[in-house]
Amino acid sequence: MPPVARRALLKAAAAAGVAAQFSWALGGGRARAAVSVAPVADGPVGIRWLEDGGVGAAPGSTFGVPWPKGLHGADATFALVGGDGKDVAVQSWPTAYWPDGSLKWTAHAVGPGAGDAERFTLKAGTPAPYKEKVKVTRSGRKVTVDTGVITAVIGTDGERLVQSVTRDGGTRIATDGRLVLLRQGDIDDGDTGHAKWERFDGEIGAVEVEQDGPVRAVVRIDGKHRKGSRSWLPFSVRLYFYAGAESFRMVHTITYDGDQEKDFIRGLGVRFTVPMRDAPYDRHIRIAGEGEGFLTEAVKGITGLRRDPGAAVRAAQVKGEKLPDPATWDQRVTSRLQYIPSWGDYTLAQLSADGFTLRKRTEPGRGWIPAGGGGRANGFGYVGGVSGGFSFGLRDFWEKHPAQLDIRGAAGDEAEVTLWLWSPEAPAMDLRFYHDGLGQDTHAEQLEGLNITYEDFEPGFGTPYGIARTSELMFWANAATPSAATLVDQAVAVRVPPQLVAEPGHVSAAGVFGGLFAPVDRSTPAKAEIEDHLDFLFTYYKDQVEQRRWYGFWDYGDIMHTYDEDRHQWRYDVGGYAWDNSELSPDLWLWYAYLRSGRADIFRFAEAMTRHTGEVDAYHLGQWAGLGTRHGVQHFADSAKQQRISTAVYRRPYYFLTADERVGDLMHALVDSDETFLALDPLRKIRTEPYEPDRHALSIGFGTDWSGLAGAWLTEWERKGPKAQKAEARLRSTMRTIAAQPNGFVQGSGLYDLDTGRFAVAGEPAVNVSHLSAMFGLVDMCAELIDLIDLPDFKAAWLDYCRYFNATKAEQRQRYGKDFGNLLLFQGHSRQDAYAAAQLEDDRLAARAWQKFHDSDGYTRAMKWQRTRIEGPDALEPGYEHPRISTNETALFGLAAIQNLALIGDKLPN
């Protein structure tokens, strides 16, 4: 059965209320499809936890589910049932629609009531009654959120983002949640520096309630850090609350808007005050180390003393329980309690990915003593007592070093907790450009630099102004000091937030993302071999992150571009060969790999990359807002600022799978990014003809440029965002005017009118084809758009481009009067052959697709899928290498393998 027919049957089955499953058997000399059906009239979908453990100690989970076109109307409601048959309270809302108005993606939120159930079923229907609801009220200068267990009061102005967190009838667990920034104006180089610090406090500019229950509430706070008359470093903080939860989540984003030569961040943190009501011996400190390890102490310890208060007393203190009246202790201890020191200050500093130190002191002005240390701390702690306390955690603590946890003043009436996203004990954050250009002042000199280090240098372009970074934190308001087991669960929830997901088979059958992926299939030796190679590549990169220590506040989530086999090292210091910055779409490779497999390790890897590339590798303020930066030694170093990196295409899967509002912000901000072509010509380094930006005649390529714009427009349209009407109009007008070009996509580019959203139709045919044009999301965008919008001329233009890129020069000349020149990346383009073969049911194109996949450039049949051991003195750290592997080829091999298997897997030669 051809893939086109198979997809048509899936859609028909969905519309008829059944789910089709295919198995293959040999009979009569050819393959035949056996179809079994299972009822899905109400849209039942299997939902499971990405990792084992249920909701655990987390406040809740939010997840996304796709639906086949036409299955559910816009007003559909949904019910969630646990594997034990019990109804689970769920809040649902649409995140995307098909063009016919039916639901394409929905988001769903569950609170701690989801419990430890391993599996669920989501179906159309009336949700279970809400026994607990989160309530949001706004009055005066505050927003109050009540989960039924805790109440948080959020400020709408001033410096206190979270004024208070209470529970159990008003017991204050934490107050004065605020942001703190330490700045220094210069860098201490060597032993002659005298850098001074100054403190800025986060000041609220605006507050918006984005969701108000019944299960999930979201409050967004925007502002800047202020000291005196200066405000800088904008922040955006979202607070997430779930019904019935005793905890809440924070997503914290900063955007750098300083002067890289003099605005050095020395510390960046989130701070709370914690009332300390209990006797010092009933106050407890818990700080997580590695694994399930914890520092377990009391502010005034009564263990290990020369005199023994009694075994029961000692055991109670270690457990965090209220101690008996001291009058019942051994009086040799009770009468001397005043001589036991109270330890009020603790600091855990993780200054590298491989080591943390822990120390404590009694009070400011006294000396510190070491309290331990280790490798990789979990970034979690607790301070409080038997009458209540505050747990706190920072996700990716060691991965995004330098980080730090501080507890101050626990021996007094109030403790102060600071989660440092950038540790003040580390060197100041230095975002200065790493070199002076070495005389590359003229255009010719810059091209020579590109020729030798592959870096596109241009004075003034290596700026971090406008890049951003998002961090995730979690907080608990505990009624008493938690047990050791509960603390372990809380620490786990910080490191690996529970995530519900739909089963891969349903995601594939829904037909989202252009139908370019299908579940993992090892049904034949040839398919199994490709699956093995896909697994090998992912595992290799996952291991390389660890081996090469691709960690750090600004770096975590990215991977390197090219390997240097002479140094047995990735080319981290060689111009454009260093950080990959989404070059040739590794983001999409990873997300397709997850969508088809449901593997947790791939999801988490792709999640970290999405957080990084969407924030750090793109600009969110300034003249280049909406553009991303090409690969380089620093993420912002290269002067090529383009749509191909900032593109919404790379963010869409994570958004729709999680409904993450921050990633939604990033995509919405790109809707008007066609305006950036007035600010910067992406082809200025290679353009030979005179060019002055004209609002009504901007030269925009149909490949890396238009695909980025189309990704943002499509997302805004299907989300029904504030600019959905404009986005849809721009999609349709650009699709029509690309199709109307004399040579369609082969024309290469067109003159775009910002006011009309149309390309001028060229008077003469041209052939302008680049091997890069389709490799940054164009393949994926065209597949989606053709599925969504009925424009036969656009489809024909795209199919022509797909058919002729990998054609012979003679075939190209016959069709276009001119061949395409010397091209590259035939393996990556084999998926275009596959797409055309599936659409046209053309066996010759399918055969060519597999031939180009196996035998052209890229990873061929001759590839040795084995790692080589390396160790000193050849390598800094022992590990493995594969000199043949590069990220360009990995991404394209991965995408081609996944898409070819989905589109023409039945044509794969055995």
- How many residues are listed for the chain in this entry? 910
- Residue 684, Cα to own-chain centre: how many angstroms? 31
Residues 6+ apart with CB under 8 A from 164: 151, 152, 153, 172, 174, 175, 176
Given a contact cutoff of 8 angstroms between Cβ atoms, the answer to whether 674 and 647 are in contact is no
Confidence at residue 686, expressed as pLDDT on a 0 to 100 scale = 74
Coil, helix or strand for 87? strand
Position 442 scores a pLDDT of 86
State the Cα angle at 646 between 642 and 647, rounded to 5°: 105
What is the pLDDT at residue 169?
A: 86
Q: What is the pTM of this model?
A: 0.95
Cis-peptide, bond into residue 693, ω within 30° of zero:
no
pLDDT at 732: 98
How far is residue 72 from each of residues 43, 90, 106, 881, measured CA to CA in Å?
A: 8, 17, 10, 49
Distances (CA, A) of 312 to 303, 316, 840, 896: 11, 6, 79, 65
Q: H-helix or E-strand containing 846? A: helix 843-855
- Residues 89 and 130: beta-carbon distance below 8 Å: yes
String of DSSP letters for 387-441: TEEEEEEETTTTTT-SEEEEEE-TTSSEEEEEEEEE-TTSPPB----S---TT--
Please state, in angstroms and as integers, the Cα–Cα distance from residue 428 to each residue in 189, 423, 572, 676, 758, following that order: 11, 9, 21, 32, 48
C-alpha to C-alpha distance for 634 and 42, rounded to whole angstroms: 50
- H/E element holding 730? helix 724-739
pLDDT of residue 193: 66
pLDDT of residue 13: 40
User: Helix/strand/coil (H, E, C) string of 237-275?
Assistant: EEEEEECCCCEEEEEEEEECCCCCCCCEEEEEEEEEEEE
**Nearest 10 degrees: CA dihedral of 170, 172, 173, 174?**
130
* CA angle at 690 for the pair 755 and 734, rounded to the nearest 5°: 30
Q: What is the pLDDT of residue 37?
A: 33
Mean pLDDT of successive 10-residue stretches along the chain, which has 910 residues: 39 37 29 33 82 95 97 96 94 98 98 93 95 95 97 98 95 98 90 83 98 98 98 98 98 98 97 98 98 97 97 97 97 97 98 98 98 98 98 98 98 98 97 87 86 92 97 98 98 98 96 97 97 98 98 98 97 97 98 98 98 98 97 96 97 98 98 94 77 91 97 98 98 98 98 97 98 98 98 98 98 98 97 98 98 94 94 94 98 98 96
Place of tokens 């017991």: 171
Q: How far apart are CA 830 and CA 896, in angstroms?
A: 6
- Rounded-to-integer distance, Cα 479 and Cα 167, Å: 7
